[in-house]
């Protein structure tokens, strides 16, 4: 009888001590087998431990630096990253200065849909083997994917970002940022997109820079609102570029760009529209309003130029440009001078019903077919 009681007591004591050890284990307890640590019933790899220590010490976790990881692959799990981003356990200990991880590899889909990110987030020079879903995300700070490769899509639909969104040098299959709000600027300089870029209805409190970007599909920006300038210098777009009803509260610069068809119908450009040494398949600007000058110099339009009923607040300058198809400027209202000197119109130039507040300067203009003029001098 005594032996039985003693055995029962021993079993009960063992269960209690095991339970207590489980709930009191600190998150950074070492595992003697592989040097990893545990958090929320999940092991953290030695790579993730290194990242966490660097972030806790208010440093960027740059895994591309020699000696940081020895010979280990810089692979990080999505669950580890989400714990940091959303303040679950590990996230409470990272630096208030933000989360910066450079050169990591993510093999899983990163699903952050409708999440709230409380830190500045930099995931730069990283490789994402699957898509990133950030639709509906709310971030108080900026987000950067500079020089990162996403083998699938980057989805930012209806996200709200508190500062700049930086995608410079990135390599993406597809981008969808429709109806996204950015309380800063969007930079996509040197970005390569192998499909469509959907920026329809995007709201930017600052500039949009797309210099030297390559988009092997359509660029959709209908109804977007940009409170700064829009730069597209040296951009290549193989599909149509739709800027219909877009508002740009500064200059729109398209110098040295290579475009298919561009639609600027009913666009509101509150600075200048500057096009120099660019090439278009066609340019449609019906009902567009440019508050300052529209300068399209030394450029080539292979298809039709539609400037019907456009409003230009200063000079219209088409000098030294080449138009291989019909050019129509009918019903346009131009506050300043109109320059067509040394331009070449391979077919018809139709300027019927335009109103100008300045002079028509057309020295050495070449017109292969016909010229239609009916100009009202304001």
Q: What is the pLDDT of residue 17?
A: 34
- Between 5 and 141, residue with greater pLDDT: 141
Whether residue 74 sits in one domain with residue 188: no
Q: What is the pLDDT of residues 265-317, one digit of tens each?
A: 999 999 999 999 999 999 999 999 999 999 999 999 999 999 999 999 999 99
Task: Specify the pLDDT at position 28.
Answer: 37
Q: Are residues 82 and 227 in the same domain?
A: no
Confidence tier at 368 by pLDDT (50, 70, 90): low
Residue 70: half-sphere exposure toward Cβ, Cα within 13 Å: 4
Same domain? For 228 and 269 the reply is yes
The answer to whether position 308 is within a domain reads: yes
Q: Of 35-39, 72-76, 86-90, 368-372, which gets the smallest average pLDDT? A: 35-39
**Residue 31 falls inside a structural domain:** no
In this structure, the answer to whether residues 243 and 286 fall within a common structural domain is yes
Strand partners, 297: 276
Q: Pick the more confident residue, 52 or 243.
A: 243
Instruction: Note the pTM of the prediction, 2 decimals.
Output: 0.84
Confidence category of residue 230, pLDDT binned at 50, 70, 90:
very high
Given a cut of 60, whether residue 232 has pLDDT beyond it is yes
Does the residue 18 lie in any domain?
A: no
| Number of alpha carbons in the 13 Å side-chain half-sphere of residue 33 | 5
Q: Quote the pLDDT of residue 316.
A: 96
Q: Are residues 61 and 123 in the same domain?
A: no
* Per-residue model confidence (pLDDT) at position 68: 76
pLDDT beyond 60 at 18: no
Residues of the chain with pLDDT > 70, as a percent, come to: 81
Q: Quote the domain boundaries for residue 224.
A: 103-377
Alpha-helix runs per DSSP H in 171-287: none
At residue 362, the pLDDT reads 79
- DSSP code per residue over 306-370: E-TT-EESS-EE-TT-EESS-EE-TT-EESS-EE-TT-EESS-EEEEEEEESS-EE-TT-EESS-
């Amino acid at each position: 009888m005594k032996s039985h009681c003693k055995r029962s007591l021993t079993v009960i004591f063992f269960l209690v001590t095991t339970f207590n050890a489980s709930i009191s284990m600190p998150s950074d307890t070492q595992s003697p087998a592989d040097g990893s640590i545990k958090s929320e019933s999940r092991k953290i790899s030695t790579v993730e431990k290194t990242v966490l220590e660097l972030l806790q010490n208010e440093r960027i976790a740059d895994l591309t630096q020699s000696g940081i990881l020895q010979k280990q692959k810089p692979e990080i799990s999505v669950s580890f990253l989400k714990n940091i981003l959303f303040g679950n356990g590990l996230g409470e200990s990272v630096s208030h200065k933000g989360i910066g991880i450079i050169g990591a590899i993510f093999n899983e889909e990163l699903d952050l849909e409708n999440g709230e990110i409380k830190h500045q987030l930099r995931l730069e020079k990283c490789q994402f083997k699957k898509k990133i879903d950030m639709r509906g995300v709310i971030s108080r700070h900026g987000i950067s994917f500079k020089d990162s490769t996403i083998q699938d899509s980057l989805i930012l639909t209806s996200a709200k970002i508190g500062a700049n969104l930086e995608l410079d040098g990135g390599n993406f299959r597809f981008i969808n940022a429709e109806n996204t709000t950015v309380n800063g600027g969007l930079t996509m300089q040197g970005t390569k997109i192998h499909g469509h870029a959907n920026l329809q209805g995007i709201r930017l409190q600052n500039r949009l820079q797309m210099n030297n970007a390559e988009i092997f599909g359509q660029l959709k920006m209908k109804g977007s609102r940009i409170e700064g300038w829009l730069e597209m210098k040296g951009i290549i777009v193989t599909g149509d570029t739709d800027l219909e009803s877009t508002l740009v509260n500064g200059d729109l610069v398209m110098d040295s760009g290579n475009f298919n068809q561009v639609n600027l119908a009913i666009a509101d450009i509150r600075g200048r529209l500057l096009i120099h040494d660019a090439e278009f398949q066609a340019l449609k600007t019906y009902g567009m309003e440019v508050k300052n000058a529209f300068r399209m110099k030394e450029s080539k339009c292979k298809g039709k130029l539609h400037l019907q009923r456009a409003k230009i607040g200063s000079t219209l300058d088409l000098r030294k440009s080449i138009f291989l198809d019909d050019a129509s400027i009918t019903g346009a209202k131009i506050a300043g001078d109109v320059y067509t000197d040394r331009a070449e119109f391979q077919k018809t130039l139709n300027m019927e019903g335009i109103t100008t507040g300045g002079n028509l300067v057309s020295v050495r203009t070449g017109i292969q077919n016909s010229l239609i003029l009916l100009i009202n001098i304001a």
